[in-house]
A and B are shown apart, each in its own frame.
Chain A
Amino acid sequence: GNSVTQMEGPVTLSEEAFLTINCTYTATGYPSLFWYVQYPGEGLQLLLKATKADDKGSNKGFEATYRKETTSFHLEKGSVQVSDSAVYFCALRRFTNTGFQKLVFGTGTRLLVSP
């Protein structure tokens, strides 16, 4: 079936460090892939997405490239800030038999950035 696997957290970094959060997926075909972010006390918000192989999604200094060979969509940022501390969710989109979209989420990775 469709599933998403993320690295366990928390990931603890100092400000200005390089960030990688790993995400791999299992799916039939080539689903659209997403990264969502959840800041403390808030709901999820879309960070970036990629809809086909080799696409690169980017936003707020974060990037992720859709790699079909390795079925991966790793999140990266060159220099993290304290304000990036949040929980990051990788997700894929699949469709029901009736044609409606569903998102399948990974378990989330908490990022803690210290000054």
Chain B
Amino acid sequence: DVKVTQSSRYLVKRTGEKVFLECVQDMDHENMFWYRQDPGLGLRLIYFSYDVKMKEKGDIPEGYSVSREKKERFSLILESASTNQTSMYLCASTPERYNEQFFGPGTRLTVL
């Protein structure tokens, strides 16, 4: 079975903290993605990675960075969390360029 896991289901952080969200897939997929999901806005792509150490900006990269040191793991980093980054964060992966994306369960982040 396809498996994408995220390190936390719920996370509460304070403004200005550095936050790491981790995503791991066990399917040897090349491509991984980070989205945020907000009511009325749907899913918006933050960053994606198509290989180890390779990344591309998505539609809303400001305030975020990513790291992919190993093929199975893709991290989203909030260097200095702000309240407008309170959201649901979803990770996804896909085996090659043109296939469906498989999603993790999401991390609901609250920044106080």
Chain A positions within 8 Å of B, measured between CB atoms, are 4, 34, 36, 41-46, 49, 89, 93, 96, 98-103, 105-108
Contacts and interface: CB of A to CB of B under 8 A. Distances in A.
Contacts, number: 51
A100 B56 contact: yes
Given A100-B31, A102-B58, A108-B42, A43 B105 contact: yes
Q: Looking at chain B's contact residues, is the secondary structure mostly helix, strand, loop, or mixed? A: strand
Given A43-B104, A45-B103, 15 more contacts: A4-B42, A41-B105, A43-B4, A43-B90, A43-B92, A43-B105, A44-B43, A44-B92, A49-B100, A96-B56, A99-B97, A100-B97, A101-B31, A101-B94, A105-B44
Contacts of B98: 93, 101
A105 B42 CA distance: 6
A19 B102 CA distance: 26
A78 B90 CA distance: 31
A102 B45 contact: yes
Interface in B82-112: 90, 92, 94, 97-98, 100-106
30 contacts: A4-B42, A34-B100, A36-B103, A41-B105, A42-B106, A43-B4, A43-B92, A43-B103, A43-B105, A43-B106, A44-B43, A44-B90, A44-B92, A46-B101, A49-B100, A89-B43, A93-B98, A98-B56, A99-B97, A100-B56, A100-B97, A101-B31, A101-B94, A102-B45, A102-B48, A103-B43, A103-B101, A105-B43, A105-B44, A106-B42
